[in-house]
Structure 1
Amino acid sequence: MTKEEVFNFIRQRLSFNDELLEQFRHVKKDDLAKEHRRFEMSGNESKTGWCTVFNTAILNEFADLGIYNYTSYLFLDFHNGTPTIYLKYFLEDENLEYTFNGYTTTEIIFEILELTIFSGKPERKRN
């Protein structure tokens, strides 16, 4: 796949499903169909843990691709609009940290795919 094809795949995964679209009234469904879920990047929350739960749910849309199979841990955090990915590769000791300031949700997920399933790193088998 080209980079743009992967971006489109990401957007499709994050798009609102038909069941949810049917719930909306007084909304132009054609306009909404072009939208997709996005990370809450502010890092600000009115209820403790809300941003983490919300953003992890979006990231988990890609778990079936194996993003967690390459790492001992993979965590995405936002602080004042700055996304940071924390990870440690499976069978390696180094704790890594990557900051993607100014990136969109699609670009952040693409980078996570690059760091995991496209990395060439050893994969942990989950039987």
Structure 2
Amino acid sequence: MSQAVDLASLSGVFYALADPTRRAIVSTLGRGPETVSALAAPFAMALPSFMKHLQVLERSGLIRSRKTGRVRTCELVPQPLSDAQQWLADQRALWEARTDRLAAFVEALHQEEQSHDE
């Protein structure tokens, strides 16, 4: 792994992103901060249910919110997404290296078989 990533935090991020509603919220916040009412508007659910999604995202560190008067505004925290992306890139590199070695091994076996058949 190219840099140390807290696996417990990473688990929270992947748990939060496992839900399509929360992924949609993260996508929306990727364009900039939004109020809770603006975030909730596209979803056909009661506000308390929607707030539970926001709580999961906040606990995972993906978003933070602040309250000004009666208006709560949420914003994306990019670092947890960067950590998840880095972990995925590291895993991809690991598995690509393994499959490359397997392909080379199979090719060597194939060449060996062909030389024995001649």
Q: TM-score range by the shorter chain?
A: under 0.3
Structure with more helix by fraction = 2
What TM-score comes out, normalization by structure 1 length? 0.25
What TM-score comes out, normalization by structure 2 length? 0.26
